[in-house]
Structure 1
Amino acid sequence: MGKIVISTNATLDGVVQDPDGQEGFELGGWFHQFVGGKDLEDWAANETEELLGAEALLLGRRSGEWFESRMRDGAEIRVSREWADRMNSIPKYVVSSTLEHSQWSNTTVLNGAAVKEISELKRTVDGEILVYGSYQLVRTLTEQNLADELRLVVFPVVLGTGLRLFDETSDKKPLHLVDTRKIGDGLVLNTYEFVQG
């Protein structure tokens, strides 16, 4: 049985929008602005270890396209070569109602009934299914009680505005804190389990 793990970066006030500053959000670019070199080195090591331990990636269309464009030959690698190689080789599932196929290696497009296909994916994959970015998909996974764990790397800045990971939910979604640890000198990784039932 697969375990869906949402892994994301957010500001202290929960903003996930435009971390690299390439989306045109006026407060974008916070990922690199408020941390030091040790923070990013330790963050990259954590990301690489996490991806190497996963069995699959689950992405929304826009996040799938974003990662694919950065993994093509000659693209800038922001984490590590080992991470990039794993990104290209790991089985990937992209949820989209408009995309028919992907050029990215080992990618399957889920373009049917998303909840049914993701439920089937959980039954057939044995191990962690990582979700990067994909905030619309994250909300669906949360609403449908398909997410099992949240790994949230908190960056030391408050933006006051911007798209948040859980902007809209239909009801309370309790989580249980499993672990908290420092990454580098300024980042905090909080790991939560979604409380089902």
Structure 2
Amino acid sequence: MGKIVISSNVTLDGVVQDPDGEEGFARGGWFHQFVAGKDLEDWVARETREALNAEALLLGGRSSEWFAARMLARDGADLRVSPEWANRVRSMPKYIVSSTLEDPRWNNATVLDGDVVQEISELKRKVDGEILVYGSYRLVRTLMEQSLADELRLVVFPVVLGTGLRIFDETSDRTPLRLVDTRKMGEGLVFHTYEFVRGQRL
């Protein structure tokens, strides 16, 4: 049985938009501004362990294109990640939720273009292990709304942007989670792990 894990970098006020500053958001680029030295070393180590332990990636169409544009023509050093992480992400099976994408740029991708709940439920039955979700914030909301997500992992950056797309924008109801772990990373990052609590919509 697969376990869907949402993994995200967020600012202290929950913004996830444009971490690398390449999307034109006025307050983008916050990742590079606040990750260096020991922070970057610990971040890379955590990301690498997570990817090596996962069995598949689940992405929305836009996030799939975002990662493909950065991953397929660049190496790990350029991306500020380890070569092991980059190679694992490239080689891992990918499932892309999109009703419009016909030709994904990855050579190991399956497009899920039918009923989202049914197809992802079937994916969880088929994959034995962790299914990582990077980015894909509209998809993330669907996973939470439909009780398909199992775990949430957040790396919190020490900055408040005050505006921008947040991971929990526009949820239809409150969703309880249980704190599993929290730890400091480097000198300024904090890593939180939560489990989604089933059957307790508030």
Normalising by the residue count of structure 1, what TM-score does the alignment of the two structures yield? Answer: 0.97
CA distance in 1, matches of 2:72, 2:164: 30
CA distance in 2, matches of 1:119, 1:155: 32
CA distance in 1, matches of 2:72, 2:18: 21
On the 8 A contact 1:100/1:111 being kept in 2, the answer is no
Tell me the alpha carbon deviations over residues 32-59 of structure 1, each in whole angstroms, 9 at most, x when there is no partner. 1123321011101100000000010000
On the 8 A contact 1:153/1:188 being kept in 2, the answer is yes
Shift of 1:102: 1.5
The alignment partner of 1:55 has SS state of strand
Task: Find out whether 1:3 has 2:3 as its counterpart.
Answer: yes
Shift of 1:100: 1.6
Q: Residue type matched to 2:49 in 1?
A: E
CA distance in 1, matches of 2:131, 2:107: 17
Shift of 1:88: 1.2
1:12-161 → structure 2 map (5 Å cutoff): 12-74=12-74, 76-161=78-163
Shift of 1:157: 0.4
Specify which of 186, 189, 199 is matched with residue 184 of structure 1: 186
1:162: which partner in 2?
Answer: 164
The alignment partner of 1:84 has SS state of helix
Shift of 1:77: 3.1
Q: Residue type matched to 1:34 in 2?
A: F
The alignment partner of 1:147 has SS state of coil
Distance 1:74 1:34, change over 3 A: closer
In the alignment, structure 2 segments of 5+ residues that lack a partner are: none
Shift of 1:107: 0.8
Identity of aligned residues (%): 75
The alignment covers a number of residue pairs equal to 197
In the alignment, structure 1 segments of 5+ residues that lack a partner are: none
CA distance in 2, matches of 1:61, 1:84: 19
CA distance in 1, matches of 2:74, 2:2: 33
CA distance in 1, matches of 2:156, 2:79: 22
On the 8 A contact 1:40/1:184 being kept in 2, the answer is yes
Shift of 1:101: 2.8
CA distance in 2, matches of 1:113, 1:68: 24
Q: Residue type matched to 1:173 in 2?
A: T
Normalising by the residue count of structure 2, what TM-score does the alignment of the two structures yield? Answer: 0.94
